[in-house]
């Protein structure tokens, strides 16, 4: 095991790493995206494929990312290069890190717009503008928000500045404090919402929708979305977890830690779904309503429950924080790279990168109004960036990381970090060499060449 430390600092303990990585993993992907893509892709069958992808592909790749980062203690590009050289592999593996940075920029630009919607809903809940709304009114209010570029711009800008500020402050001061208090609070609030959902007459329908396996609902596209989302929700395929791993202490066991993160992330997503779908069915709304699903359904529920306004404010505050701890992790690998490669100050690097992603975000927020007619392959900018990152760039990054860890890195170096029992190590190797790459390749193949 190496005794190096990263020049960026390191986490105070194993728990802080778990919290920070969970803070990165748990975000809009769990609470906003998972329910709505489950709705669009027919429910139970989709959920099952998603769970299989988390276990067979996501968790093993997360282990690879953590160990590569921790071994080299550098930003993802340099970490890949160092670990490749140690095993006499090509330096070109570093290019995965470069693609990862681009993915981070793309994801941040639309992520920040959605986080802006969340901030707007905090305000709306506080002022009581949405008290006692019907589902039609909630839908209309969400539509009106999307049609209003000035409001979107304000919130997108505020959220971008919040994220840049934390990254600029460095990993210890910024990221740790936010995660430590907020993640448990978010979980409690989700349980309260779940409790409310259980009292609605849509609960049975909600559970049935999420857990009833109906193979006829499954298309290759749904499998692709499930696979892509397993990368997105665990923050894999772009170097985030590699960067966070580079700040991890040597003592902690990677396998157990990664399992904890994967389990927490999955539980939050499932609870979010179980909280949202009953409300959808109790109010005769459409589960396939798309990206506005959470914003159109939850205000209706808050309007009907005791202390709804209070819970409403709290809920959106916590989702905002979950989004925040994820957004900073999208910037961290690139900032670490700029600091290490070009000797930039952390603050300058954060502002430079932050301005770029903010600007690209303008195209995403305009997708719903002023530039809604600008489309590529029939998708507006927002949908396009969401689609190519989650469904193409992250899986591709993941497959390459798996191939690298499975075929290039020598066993003794991998085991030096992972310290798995022989059997578990063999299983992990099989996943890296075959299962993960083949699964991703098959899905991408059928997406590009659909069976008619
Ligand atoms: N995992 C986060 C979510 O579910 C989003 C995220 C943060 C992410 N960092 C990432 C996604 C890196 C992919 C890669 O909301």
Q: How remote is the CA of residue 54 from the centroid of ligand 1, in Å?
A: 14
Q: Which helix (H) or strand (E) holds 107?
A: helix 95-127
Q: How far is the CA of 18 from the centre of ligand 1 (A)?
A: 15
Two structure tokens written together for 167 = 């990254």
* Cross-strand pairs, 380: 375
Taking the C-alpha atoms of residue 355 and residue 348, their distance in angstroms, rounded to an integer, is: 11
User: Could you tell which of 114, 163, 240, 331 is best to mutate to test the pocket of ligand 1, judged by most ligand atoms within 8 Å of the CB?
Assistant: 240
27 Cα nearest atom in ligand 1? 15
Backbone phi and psi for residue 376, each to the nearest 5 degrees, phi listed first: -125, 130
Pick the atom of ligand 1 nearest to 265's CA: 4
CA quadruple 341, 345, 351, 352: dihedral sign: negative
In the block, which residue shows the tokens 């282990």? 63
Which residue ranges have their beta carbon within 6 Å of ligand 1?
24-25, 27-30, 107, 232-233, 235, 238, 240, 326, 329-330, 394
Please list the pLDDT of the chain residue by residue as tens digits (452 residues): 455 788 888 887 888 888 889 999 999 999 999 999 999 999 999 999 999 999 999 999 999 999 999 999 999 999 999 999 999 999 999 999 999 999 999 999 999 999 999 999 999 999 999 888 999 999 999 999 999 999 999 999 999 999 999 999 887 776 677 677 777 888 888 888 899 899 999 999 999 999 999 888 888 889 999 999 999 999 999 999 999 999 987 778 899 999 999 999 999 999 999 999 999 999 899 999 999 999 999 999 888 888 889 888 988 988 998 999 999 999 999 999 999 999 999 999 999 999 999 999 999 999 999 999 999 988 999 999 999 999 999 999 999 999 999 999 999 999 999 999 999 999 999 999 999 999 999 888 887 777 65
pLDDT of res. 3:
59
The pair of three-digit structure tokens given for residue 165, joined into one six-digit string: 């500020």
**pLDDT on residue 16:** 82
* Phi, psi dihedrals of residue 203, rounded to the nearest 5°: -65, -45
Q: How far is the CA of 452 from the centre of ligand 1 (A)?
A: 33
Task: Point out the ligand 1 atom lying closest to the alpha carbon of residue 327.
Answer: 7
Whose CA is closest to atom 6 on ligand 1?
A: 235
The dihedral over CA atoms of 370, 376, 380, 386, expressed in degrees to the nearest 10, equals -140
CATH number of the 14-448 domain: 1.20.1740
394 Cβ contact list (under 8 Å, min separation 6): 103, 228, 231, 232, 236, 237, 238
CB contact burial 303-312 (16+ within 10 A = b; e otherwise): bbbeebbebb
Per-residue CA distances from 94 to 71, 77, 84, 400, 432 (Å): 15, 5, 8, 11, 18
Two tokens, residue 210: 């999420």
374 CA from centroid of ligand 1 (Å): 26
Probe ligand 1: pick from 107, 186, 244, 389, max atoms within 8 Å of CB? Answer: 107
Phi/psi region, residue 208 (left: phi>0; alpha: psi -120 to 50; beta: rest), is alpha
The atom number, within ligand 1, closest to the CA of 241 reads 12
Burial of 69 from C-beta contacts in 10 A (0-12 / 13-18 / 19+): buried
CA atoms within 13 A on the CB side of 93: 29
Tokens of 414: 């991998």
Q: Is-contact 371 119, C-beta < 8 A?
A: no
> Rounded to the nearest 10 degrees, what angle do helices 346-366 and 381-388 cross at?
120
- Residue 209 DSSP SS3: helix
If you write DSSP's letter for every residue of 340-369 in order, what string do you get? HHH---HHHHHHHHHHHHHHHHHHHHHTTT
Ligand 1 centroid–CA 136 distance in Å is 31
SS3 11: coil
Per DSSP, what are the bridge partners of residue 222? none
């Amino acid at each position: 095991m190496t005794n190096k430390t990263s020049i960026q600092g390191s986490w105070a303990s194993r728990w802080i790493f778990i919290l920070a990585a969970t803070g990165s993993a748990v975000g809009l992907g769990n609470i906003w995206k998972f329910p709505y893509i489950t709705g669009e892709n027919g429910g139970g069958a989709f959920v099952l494929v998603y769970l299989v992808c988390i276990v067979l592909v996501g968790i093993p790749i997360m282990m690879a990312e953590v160990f590569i980062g921790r071994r080299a203690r550098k930003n993802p590009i340099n970490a890949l290069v160092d670990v490749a050289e140690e095993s006499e592999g090509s330096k070109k593996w570093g290019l995965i890190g470069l693609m990862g940075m681009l993915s981070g920029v793309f994801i941040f630009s639309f992520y920040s717009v959605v986080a802006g919607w969340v901030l707007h809903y905090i305000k709306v809940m506080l002022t009581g503008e949405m008290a006692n709304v019907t589902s039609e009114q909630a839908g209309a209010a969400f539509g009106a928000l999307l049609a209003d570029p000035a409001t979107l711009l304000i919130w997108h800008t505020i959220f971008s500045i919040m994220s840049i500020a934390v990254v600029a402050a460095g990993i210890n001061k910024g990221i740790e404090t936010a995660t430590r208090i907020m993640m448990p609070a978010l979980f409690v609030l989700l349980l309260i919402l779940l409790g409310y959902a259980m009292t609605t007459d849509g609960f049975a329908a909600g559970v049935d929708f999420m857990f009833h396996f109906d193979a006829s609902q499954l298309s290759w596209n749904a499998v692709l979305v499930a696979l892509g989302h397993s990368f997105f929700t665990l923050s894999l395929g772009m170097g985030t977890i590699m960067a966070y791993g580079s700040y991890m202490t040597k003592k902690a066991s990677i396998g157990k830690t990664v399992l904890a993160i994967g389990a927490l992330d999955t539980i939050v997503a499932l609870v979010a779904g179980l909280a949202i779908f009953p409300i959808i069915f109790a109010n005769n709304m459409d589960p396939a309503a798309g990206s506005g699903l959470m914003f159109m359904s939850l205000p209706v529920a808050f309007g009907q429950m005791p202390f709804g306004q209070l819970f409403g404010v709290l809920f959106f505050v916590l989702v905002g924080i979950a989004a925040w701890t994820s957004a900073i992790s999208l910037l961290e690998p690139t900032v670490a790279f700029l600091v290490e490669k070009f000797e930039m100050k952390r603050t300058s690097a954060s502002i430079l990168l932050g301005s770029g992603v903010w600007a690209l975000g303008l195209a995403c927020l305009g997708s719903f109004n002023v530039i809604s007619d600008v489309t590529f392959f029939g998708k507006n900018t927002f949908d396009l960036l969401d689609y190519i990152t989650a469904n193409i760039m992250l899986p591709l990054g993941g497959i390459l990381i798996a191939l690298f860890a499975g075929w290039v890195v020598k066993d003794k170096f991998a085991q030096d970090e992972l310290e798995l029992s022989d059997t578990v190590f063999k299983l992990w190797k099989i996943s890296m060499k075959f299962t993960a790459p083949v699964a991703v390749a098959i899905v991408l193949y059928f997406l590009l060449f659909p069976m008619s």
